[in-house]
A and B are shown apart, each in its own frame.
Chain A
Amino acid sequence: GAVVSQHPSRVICKSGTSVKIECRSLDFQATTMFWYRQFPKQSLMLMATSNEGSKATYEQGVEKDKFLINHASLTLSTLTVTSAHPEDSSFYICSARDDSGNNQPQHFGDGTRLSIL
């Protein structure tokens, strides 16, 4: 089955650090990948749609200069949380959908638990 790899799974760092998270589709091509954030006991919240070869599309209220997205190839998207602060601590999850058909399901990475001290 389709596999999405997300790395790292856990990050603990000081306030002001920038953190880069990678999302790879391992056995399929994904023109579009999605980045979500989830706070404890809350629903997944879509942050942005990552588009290969073009700019990401950000949801309302998500700062594009804070959350930099790069989708350099059909199998890799990265999210960089710049100058992270404690309020950015959350569970970040990426997902990707196989380009082969409109009715394909999304597959999620394992998520990255980010803790900013």
Chain B
Amino acid sequence: RKEVEQDPGPFNVPEGATVAFNCTYSNSASQSFFWYRQDCRKEPKLLMSVYSSGNEDGRFTAQLNRASQYISLLIRDSKLSDSATYLCVVNQRGSYIPTFGRGTSLIVHP
């Protein structure tokens, strides 16, 4: 079983839709969590950190469920520009190497 798993998608949604992705992690010692966005042929860019209490940044909401060992990303009112691959990254206690999910592809269409 992979340490960090994501549904690769693609998630194909119309503009204005709400879409949510999950990312599960296997190591209960995981201590910090992040969502990145990667556009085609570009480097990943930090979208948001994920805090235990959940956090929101505009149309984006991230949540952490430690009991079930997953994090989620909710995007409201999808825009065409939200089309990208969304990567889940987990830092594990005692390891300095971040663990990446394989990414979830989102396509927002008119």
Contacts and interface: CB of A to CB of B under 8 A. Distances in A.
A90 to B, nearest CB: 12
Interface residues of B, number: 20
Interface string B60-89: 000000000000000000000000000101
A103 interface: yes
Contacts of B98: 34, 97, 106
Interface in B33-51: 34, 41-46, 49
B100 A44 contact: yes
Dominant SS among interface residues on chain B: strand
A104 B93 CA distance: 12
Dominant SS among interface residues on chain A: strand
B34 A105 contact: yes
Given A102-B32, A103-B91, A105-B34, A43 B100 contact: yes
Nearest to B48: A105
